[in-house]
Amino acid sequence: MKGLSFSLSSLRAAFASGVRAEDVAREALARADACNDPAVWISRFEDEEVLSRARALDELPSEARARMVLFGVPFAVKDNIDVAGLPTTAACPAFAYQPKESAFVVKRLMEAGAIPLGKTNLDQFATGLVGTRSPLGSPRSVFNHDYISGGSSSGSAVAVAAGIVSFALGTDTAGSGRVPAAFNNIVGLKPSRGLLSTRGVVPACRSLDCVSIFALTVADAGTVFDAAARFDGQDVYARARMPETPRSLGEGFTFAVPRASDLQFFGDDEAARLFEEASERLEELGGRARWIDFSLFAEAAALLYDGPFVAERTAAVGNFIEAHEAETDPTVRGIVLGGRKREAVETFEALYKLEALKRRALTLFTDIDFLVVPTTPTIYRVDEIAAEPLKLNSRLGIYTNFMNLLDMAGIAIPAGIRASGKVAGLPFGVTLCAPAFSEGKLCELAAAFETAQALVPGGPMPPSAPDEDFIELAVVGAHMSGLPLNHELTSRGAMFVERTKTAPRYRFYALAGGPPFRPGLVRVAEGGSSIELEVWRVPRSAFGSFMAGVPQPLCIGTLDLVSGRSVKGFLCEESGLDGAEEITSFGGWRAFMASKAEKVPG
């Protein structure tokens, strides 16, 4: 149970074998408690309330349970979406209020059997793509805590990527449901505007806002979307879902790719390489690539923040921010109140321009099926964002900002792990997008890409894979993300699960020799501590070759985690401690190596 994947297919199999919704809820709560990123949650339901909901589901007749497509599935909700029983803060405590009822979309998901754990962190008032604009902390990428999680739906993406919940709701106005997916190697579905009701959502740009879905797989995102996409007659921006023409990949497809001169990666050569490989993979699936002038999409994107559309954010929360300046994020405050400078004539001129761009885009899509773009051009460290918050945030939106303005749907999917450079070990993603009401087609194509990507060296293993197909492995040294030996995992298709700690019964050593410098973890009967580690899912078929490369005195044994569960992991034979330096006090390999670097002059 403790090693169970929370993908929907794994949970269905577990429930069919006799696992109860209460069992899954207890495990989700344990994972939430064990998560080593304290900024993920803004508020959570009391454990007993979560368990009570789960028990109520377990007591339903089998026929009723069978009708619930999300029976017993744990999920999280971005804290600008109302959930009855918890405050809505939009990451601004002074703004907090107690909603009388849950948002329409949350109700639909709970009726389908899903169980909410709580509300997740975000860039304040959903203004940002970085995840650092919250007074309640900055969630970090699950791959490397030095790097941003992406925003604004930061906590929701991390809750899914860390395995705490099966899916999470975000919102997406400029890319907030896609950028965090890319930075955490998960799926981010941004449906067409109006298909998921925004009643009960704190508006950012009300005419553009979408509720988005983070999930472990494309199939999971599609299932959640199907359950939530119900027309809401009380939402003035709601639209009914339109039927899609059935299609088959066997018929082939045509996809657009921005021409090379239009692509920007800001020095991230690995992102450029992975995007080129993603385009080649689509061709291998039967696609025909067409390189296009990307300028119309760039022109539309510029309207969002460089044009008068920012005034819609002012209309949403400008009065509140003016009355509570000291209690709001200064970057968010500057962006939102900047809308006061926009004029009505400028707004109409922008609307006319946007309609012309929409017509050009629709003409383009008459003979292509979808456009593929990098989800983001690169990724940044938290300290880099702090130094240049506006400039770097703007860069992250160059492939996302246009989509809601042009009335498009999109799905962000993992497309590989960077193998070298300063961002080695961090994930990269692409987004498939097409005009509104194309969710089914996009999910079909994205699922095919997901399967193909999982089969290539370095491709992530799909979380929907049966549990017996992989082995969870804890690594404590140079195999961790971004460190010199991490490629030995990623090249075998291993996928990051979580960053956590051992139970407090280990001592830690820096072994003699190197490079590469290696740590040794030794279990002790008393006097032990908790040591930082990462858990990776390694395909069972590749585990033997990985073990063959483990040198003495290291070995693979069973490690106890702080959460109480056990996994396979690196241990050290006591005979290998001759000449070793004890480094238990550092709490982990990264902290020890950082201390060594600080002692090097220059």
Catalytic residues: 78, 152, 176
The amino acid sitting at 324 is H
CB 560 within 8 A of CB 499: no
Beta bridge partners of 569: 474, 557
In degrees and rounded to multiples of 5, residue 400 shows phi and psi of -125, -30
Beta bridge partners of 453: none
Max CA separation in the chain (angstroms) = 78
Of 438, 440, 447, 439, nearest to 285 (Cα)? 447
In degrees and rounded to multiples of 5, residue 116 shows phi and psi of -75, 135
What's the angle, vertex CA 482, arms to CA 187 and CA 175, rounded to 5?
A: 30
Q: How far is 150 from 42, CA to CA, in rounded Å?
A: 17
Of 217, 270, 227, 291, nearest to 448 (Cα)? 217
Pair type for strands 470-475 and 566-572:
parallel
What string of H, E and C letters represents the secondary structure of 326-355?
HHCCHHHHHHHHHHHHCCHHHHHHHHHHHH
Residue ranges with strand state E in 334-482: 370-374, 408-417, 427-435, 470-475
Residues 6+ apart with CB under 8 A from 65: 15, 57, 71, 113
CB 157 within 8 A of CB 147: no
Residues 6+ apart with CB under 8 A from 246: none
Contacts of residues 380-385 at CB distance under 8 Å and 24 or more positions apart, as own/partner, are: 380/130, 380/147, 380/148, 381/146, 381/147, 381/148, 382/132, 382/138, 382/140, 382/146, 382/147, 382/148, 383/146, 385/130, 385/132, 385/148
Pair type for strands 566-572 and 554-560:
antiparallel
Q: How far is residue 253 CA from its own chain's centroid?
A: 28
SS3 384: helix
The amino acid sitting at 231 is F
Can you read off the two tokens belonging to residue 531?
Answer: 């040591």
Put residue 126 in one of left, alpha, beta given phi > 0 → left and psi -120 to 50 → alpha: left
Q: How far is 376 from 264, CA to CA, in rounded Å?
A: 9
